[in-house]
């Protein structure tokens, strides 16, 4: 896509601006007209934003997503997945995969973004402000996950957000203020943003807003992707065995309690990445990519059949990623089938195919937490599959093959509100078997 000709319309992103400006809600340089006067969205909001402001946010948040943060994400993900595995191994079967993954993802975000956990030896966790922040954030994200009205969009949805904001805002403000005056020895996203100085420095309000953005964007999306992957591995055991073979080879001879850097593992889990990409191709969280034709002039494009199309200036465009990701002209006649090895060429990832995946969007406004999400997903799946395999548990009177098809139908009946999600995940029963 010609990025400058079809920028992202900011008036939708600004609905998330309940804390203040963040990377998602300030103006990208490609959106600026020749006249640098304030831009007015169709919602009637007027903001003094410019390319320098967007570049500052992008630069600051990029610095925050450093190698140390990525290591912290990997470590937190492995730790939380190990705890969850103990629960799974104690159960004959479970239908609570979705809430379990929601809690796991939330705990990882608390650790990696805010340095918060329930460790009684952690001085930060023992402070009243951090304890309250943990509880209020959990309440907020549970409300978003479980309240149907909050997921529908529109004014009612926005009212719910703002009502929750009244409770959450002072907590986030207090947390940022506390951490600014009581620096933590932990490596997390908040401490990284607080450590910036001079031209790179973000205000407390901007830090709060970016923290909220990263946690809101990364919470349910990553958790849902994990649920899809787990269910698909149970439905298609041949692909599960395929990725377990890779994991066993990588960890051969290593003790289970050995802490390993993500740098030693992440670049080697090629099959696991193929499974992640294939899952996101068919069940990616972002169903719609919104763009607007440049206001400067009409845009001429060429369709797949070679015919020309003229798009009037300022036309709002809704790109359906499921249509892109299942286009037979590119993905082949089996485009709607879950086939992870389509991403590999001689056991290496096919970079051209990866470039055609829009799960994290593309261009200057692509998701800055892309690697954060990939590391979390990879660490969780690796931790679970090192010791166990997952299987579908049929209902009484139903064969295993019938149960697999029922589970696949549950996935195929997913709905998109804020993001794509499985409407009835509790209908899928699975068990984790030691191996």
Burial of 30 (0-12, 13-18, 19+ CB in 10 A): middle
Residues 376 and 222: beta-carbon distance below 8 Å: yes
> From the DSSP assignment, how many helices (H) and strands (E) are in the chain?
18, 12
Q: Rounded to whole angstroms, how far apart are CA atoms 158 and 106?
A: 22
Which residues fall within 8 angstroms of residue 275, CB to CB, at 6 or more apart?
229, 232, 233, 239, 243, 340, 381
Q: Rounded to whole angstroms, how far apart are CA atoms 99 and 142?
A: 10
CB atoms within 10 A of CB 136: 18
Give φ, ψ of 225 to 5 degrees: -60, -40
Q: Rounded to whole angstroms, how far apart are CA atoms 264 and 81?
A: 18
Q: Rounded to whole angstroms, how far apart are CA atoms 234 and 408?
A: 10
Which residues fall within 8 angstroms of residue 333, CB to CB, at 6 or more apart?
none
Q: Rounded to whole angstroms, how far apart are CA atoms 215 and 370?
A: 13
Q: Rounded to whole angstroms, how far apart are CA atoms 380 and 75?
A: 10
Burial of 427 (0-12, 13-18, 19+ CB in 10 A): middle
CB atoms within 10 A of CB 103: 17
**Assigned token pair, 416:** 């998109």
DSSP character string of 79-144 = HHHHHHHHHHHT-S-BS-HHHHHHHHHHHHHIIIII-----TT-HHHHSHHHHHHHHHHHHHHHHH
Q: Rounded to whole angstroms, how far apart are CA atoms 325 and 284?
A: 9
Q: Is 27 annotated as a binding residue?
A: no
Known binding positions: 367
Residues annotated within a binding site for heme:
367
């Amino acid at each position: 896509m010609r990025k400058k000709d079809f920028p992202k319309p900011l008036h939708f992103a600004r609905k998330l601006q309940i804390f203040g400006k963040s990377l998602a809600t300030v103006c990208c340089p490609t959106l600026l007209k020749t006249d640098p006067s304030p831009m007015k969205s169709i919602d009637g909001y007027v903001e003094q934003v410019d390319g320098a402001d967007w570049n500052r946010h992008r630069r600051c948040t990029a610095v925050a997503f450093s190698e140390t943060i990525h290591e912290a994400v990997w470590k937190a993900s492995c730790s939380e997945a190990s705890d969850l595995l103990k629960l799974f191994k104690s159960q004959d079967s479970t239908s609570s995969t979705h809430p379990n993954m929601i809690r796991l993802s939330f705990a990882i975000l608390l650790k990696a973004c805010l340095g918060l956990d329930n460790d009684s030896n952690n001085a930060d966790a023992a402070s009243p402000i951090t304890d309250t922040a943990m509880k209020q954030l959990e309440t907020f994200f549970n409300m978003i996950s479980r309240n149907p009205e909050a997921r529908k969009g529109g004014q009612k949805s926005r009212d719910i957000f703002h009502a929750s904001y009244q409770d959450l805002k002072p907590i986030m403000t207090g947390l940022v203020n506390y951490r600014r005056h009581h620096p933590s020895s932990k490596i997390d996203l908040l401490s990284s943003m607080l450590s910036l100085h001079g031209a790179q420095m973000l205000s407390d309000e901007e830090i709060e807003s970016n923290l909220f953005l990263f946690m809101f964007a990364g919470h349910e999306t990553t958790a849902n992707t994990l649920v899809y992957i787990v269910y698909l591995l149970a439905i298609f055991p041949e692909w599960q065995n395929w990725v377990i073979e890779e994991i066993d080879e990588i960890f051969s001879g290593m003790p289970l309690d050995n802490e390993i850097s993500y740098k030693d593992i992440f670049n080697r889990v090629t099959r696991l990445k193929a499974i992640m990409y294939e899952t996101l191709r068919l069940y990616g969280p972002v169903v719609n990519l919104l763009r607007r034709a440049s206001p400067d002039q009409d845009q001429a494009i060429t369709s797949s059949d070679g015919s020309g199309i003229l798009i009037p200036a300022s036309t709002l465009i809704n790109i359906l990623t499921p249509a892109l990701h299942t286009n037979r002209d590119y993905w082949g006649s089996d485009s709607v089938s879950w086939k992870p090895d389509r991403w590999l060429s001689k056991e290496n990832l096919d970079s051209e195919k990866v470039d055609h995946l829009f799960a994290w969007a593309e261009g200057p406004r692509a998701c800055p937490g892309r690697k954060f999400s990939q590391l979390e997903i990879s660490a969780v799946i690796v931790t679970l599959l090192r010791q166990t395999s997952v299987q579908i548990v049929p209902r009484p009177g139903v064969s295993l093959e019938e149960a697999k098809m029922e589970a696949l139908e549950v996935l195929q009946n997913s709905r998109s509100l804020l993001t794509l999600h499985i409407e009835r995940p509790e209908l899928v029963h699975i068990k984790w078997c030691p191996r």
